Structure 1
């Protein structure tokens, strides 16, 4: 997995506008991509877009940022991300493993939450 894939992944999660987000999903994710974290499971681009919209509804104005450096081998990459107000310490921190298909598109995401505010 390339650094570009992580950048595209975070851009997708940061896309508040549904049309922009859906375009990023179409460009960089497989049609049948799967996303699983402790709070939800989503299968397919439409369900993933709805999941992302829900996160923006719960945390309006927050942005996803890369925390540290990604670690990759073969077609999989693990990396830590933060979610919080731009330029501030993240209030939510997670760790994702992203698996790409043979064409370099995101096929599977396995997410873990390391730090979640009590009210989330």
Structure 2
């Protein structure tokens, strides 16, 4: 399993601003019954993830998600860091996620943590 590709698909979904492209990216990155939980959200399914991502894009317009320094996996579990900020600049938000990968390479569960948030 190519864990880097799985996480890149996940981040592509968070970066897809066109609604149709975002729905396609979500379908590529998440299982239909996926659950996403972080300190600010608890959503399930493609519709829930789509609404969450659309809200984050509205709140952080013009910023992009990128992979952080850590990406580590074993069995069907991956942990990784991510950054949200202007392209090529210091991130505004830094997070740490732990996810369960389904047999088809898509994410079934994501547990997010926020390490750095704007004040």
The two structures share one fold, judged by TM-score above 0.5: yes
Within a 5 Å distance, the mapping from 1:85-104 to structure 2 comes to 85-104=86-105
Q: Indicate the residue corresponding to 2:45 in structure 1.
A: 44
**Counterparts of 1:73 and 1:82 in 2: how far apart (Å)?**
22
In structure 2, the partner of 1:54 is: 55
How far is the alpha carbon of 1:27 from its aligned partner?
2.2
CA distance in 2, matches of 1:37, 1:88: 24
Q: Deviations over 1:15-39 (max 9, x none)?
A: 1111111001122311100000000
Offset, 1:69:
3.2
Q: Distance in 1 between the 2:82 and 2:105 partners?
A: 21
State the distance in 2 between where 1:3 and 1:18 align.
24
Structure 1 residue runs of 5 or longer lacking an equivalent are none
The corresponding residue for 2:83 is 82
Question: Structure 2: any 5+ residue segments left out of the alignment?
Answer: none
**Take 1:95 and 1:56, find their aligned partners in 2: how far apart are those partners?**
18
List 4+ stretches of structure 1 deviating above 2 A: none
- CA RMSD of superposed structures (Å): 0.9
Alignment of structure 1 residues 14-29 onto 2, 5 Å: 14-29=15-30
Alignment length (residue pairs): 118
TM-score normalised according to structure 1 size: 0.95
Give the structure 1 partner of residue 33 of structure 2. 32
Q: Alignment partner of 1:71: what SS?
A: strand
Q: Distance in 1 between matches of 2:54 and 2:63?
A: 12
How far apart in 1 are the matches of 2:62 and 2:41?
21
